Every structure is written in C-alpha cells, then in structure tokens.
Amino acid sequence: MARIVLDAGVIIGLYDDKDPHHKWAVDFMFQTTADKLVMSAINHAEILVYPTKAGVMDAFQAGIEGLGIKLDVSSLLETEALAALRAETGLKMTDVCAIHLATAEDSILATTDKAVAKAAKSHGIEVFQP
C-alpha cells in the first residue's frame, strides 16, 4: 500500500466532468483504492472554493469523506521549508504544500499540473500524472 499525496487538481478533475483531466482522475481513483490518500490542508481548502461559491458544500464534503482522504496539517508548521521550496521553484504555495508533503514518508505525488510534476521529480519524488 503506497502513501499518495493528492494535489488539488486530482480532486477538481474527479468532480468536474468538463475538466480535461476528468477521465484520468476517475481512473486514478479506481486504481488507488488500496492506497493511503493524503492531502495538505491548504490543498483541501483550494478544492472547497468552488463548492462554497456554488452552495453545495455539504454534498461535496460528503463525497470527499467517502474517498477516505486524510488531511495533513503537520507540513504547514514547517514554514521555513515551505518558503524555501516556494523560492526555489516559483510555484504557488498550494503546489509547494503538496510537494513538501510528498517528501515525507517516501510518498508518491499525484498531480495534473506539469510544473508541479517537474518540480517534484527534481526532488526525487515519484509522480502520477496524466
């Protein structure tokens, strides 16, 4: 059983059938049912933006809970490491949070973002991507 850190794009693609990564995200979730799925609290907040605006937060949260994704807040306490990674990569903080979390416990990162995948790979992180 692998520990897989999810970038927000994976969940956004999963729930948005018009997203270009929708099919990949659905297939990915089916293929990883036996794995431990983890998400940074910052990435979790990012996926809640649209459901909040659309007024469907309760239904969305119920669906997310059914996926068994564990939220991780521990990496958010490592502010200097997050700042250094952001300065090095130039990526958004949400992306940096996912990469930083994936450096823990020999994790794999799942992302739909090519720049995030490239940065993660440069740090020796295995990546699942479309």
What does the pLDDT average to over 60-72? 92
Nearest to 72 by CA among 33, 45, 34, 106: 45
- Inform me whether the pLDDT recorded for 36 exceeds 90: yes
pLDDT value of residue 105: 77
Matching residue, tokens 């059938």 = 17
- Tens digit of each residue's pLDDT (9 = 90 or more) over 88-129: 999 999 999 999 999 987 899 999 999 999 999 999 999 999
Which stretches does DSSP call E strand in the chain?
Answer: 3-6, 36-40, 70-72, 108-110, 126-128
Q: What is the CATH number of the domain that holds 37?
A: 3.40.50.1010
Structurally, the chain folds into a number of domains equal to 1
pTM for this prediction = 0.92
- Inform me whether the pLDDT recorded for 76 exceeds 90: no
Domain that holds residue 30: 3-128
What does the pLDDT average to over 34-58? 95
pLDDT value of residue 74: 86
- Tens digit of each residue's pLDDT (9 = 90 or more) over 1-15: 899 999 999 999 999
